[in-house]
Amino acid sequence: MLPGLALALTLALGAVLLASVDVVASSPYSSAAETNLRALDLDLMSAAAAGYTESDLAPVLDGEQLLLRQPPPAWPLARFAYYRNREQGAAQLRDSLQVLLVQRFDLLRRAVTMRLGEVRLSLTQDERYGVDSIELRPIREQVDALATSINRAHSPADYRRAYADLGPPTDQLEQLRTQHAAEVAAVQSEADALKARVKGDFQQLRDVAAKALFDGRNDAAYAAFMRYGTLGRPYDLLESNLAKVQGGDLDQVALATALEERYRDEVHQALLGHLPQKAILVSLTAQELWAYEGGRLVIDTLVTTGRPALPTDVGLMRVNRKESPVHFISPFPHGSPYDYGSINARYALWFHPSGEAIHDSWWRSWYGPGSNVGSYGSHGCIGLPYGPIDVLFSWTPVGTPVVVIPGDGSPPADQVAQQSYNDPYFGYGSPSPDS
């Protein structure tokens, strides 16, 4: 063949091949492949926006990357099959994605439902094992609210959020369970001792628990009068635990009684932690006065308060003046059954605007419960024996709070309802038995 003819044939064949490449590049196969790949990308972005993670979508993402990493073949005529496979592969990945989304959504839904069931089962078991219902109540309310939101969930993001939100209640239940186990272990020896002491007498156990409740309520009342609330968890447990004392199992009743005493002690310690540096507390029922400094008891004495017709005021007051010696002059007219003429005393700590004071009362021979009944009581003042008043007078600075409560063991709110005076300059607000 002539050299010129061979060159012409070569150039003609090259032109045909170039034309084939152009046809393949612009063929419906390449266009359909790119369309399917773009649609797959949009599907993946929608899934991610709905809350599916890369881990959820990994099988499809890996398949797409495999498609994209395959370069077109060098031989133009082989590209028809390449683009057809690319188009079909993208279409299959889109179908696989829809199946995968349904599977992942169902897994998320079942995981959340299972976790919700586990939390609810833990609530039931913890209450059965003795964790106090009052501590479980806020967790139960939180779980009920989450259950409502789960019923309204419609996306993976909703279910993932719900699964995460169930974490804190789960942790709180574990903490309560551990705490309760520690409390039971701490009082078990006391419960055993109580059981041995009463020799099967349920009423004795219940009397011990009632005394603990009585004391704890009074301490919580002091806190309420001083605007500290009722001391939170220890007091709440003191109240709610009492119901367990009414059971019929001796071991459980002894344990509940020991816990009641423990909660009583915790209420008392919480009160001491809230007291100012110095404070004077008085119970009308006990006819007793306690003085605390830095949470430490420094004076404990029986007293005599106002008689029923002239009762000592109930509420939060403070020492506003100190006087020594002191000369009392009766404000009642001569001939009145309340007239006492004039009396001298060593000390007076005035704590009420109407003239009530803590003072010595040398004319008295006895103090304590009953000493304020009938005509034996004071005219509203608080009388002390010589020894305690000597110490109290020198110990007490002006401004020291004086808190007088009924001390009858009733709930703090009922005792606060009997308040007759509330020092407007102590802290802020009003007595708060329910805070």
Classify 63 in phi/psi space as left (phi over 0), alpha (psi -120 to 50) or beta.
Answer: alpha
Residue appearing with tokens 């700590």? 349
Question: Which of 178-192, 284-298, 351-365, 385-399 shows the lowest mean pLDDT across its residues?
Answer: 178-192
Residue 205 token pair: 């156990």
Question: Which of 57-66, 140-149, 164-173, 291-300 shows the lowest mean pLDDT across its residues?
Answer: 57-66
pLDDT above 70 for 23: no
Identify the CA nearest to 317 among candidates 284, 270, 353: 353
CA distance 295 to 274: 8
Residue 260 token pair: 């009641």
pLDDT level of residue 16 (50, 70, 90 thresholds): very low
DSSP 379: S
pLDDT above 60 for 94: yes
pLDDT level of residue 168 (50, 70, 90 thresholds): very high
Residue 289 three-state SS: strand
Question: Which of 48-52, 112-116, 283-287, 431-435 shows the lowest mean pLDDT across its residues?
Answer: 431-435
Cβ burial 138-154 (10 Å sphere, 16+ → b, else e): ebbebbeebbeebeebe
CA distance 332 to 24: 121
pLDDT above 90 for 82: no
CA distance 51 to 40: 17
pLDDT level of residue 15 (50, 70, 90 thresholds): very low
What count of other Cβ atoms lies within 10 Å of the Cβ of residue 70? 11
Write down the pLDDT at residue 339. Answer: 64
What count of other Cβ atoms lies within 10 Å of the Cβ of residue 169? 21
What count of other Cβ atoms lies within 10 Å of the Cβ of residue 434? 11
Which residues are within 8 A (CB) of 332 and not within 5 positions of it... i.e. 6 or more apart? 338, 339, 340, 379
CA distance 420 to 403: 12
Which residues are within 8 A (CB) of 6 and not within 5 positions of it... i.e. 6 or more apart? none
Write down the pLDDT at residue 179. Answer: 87
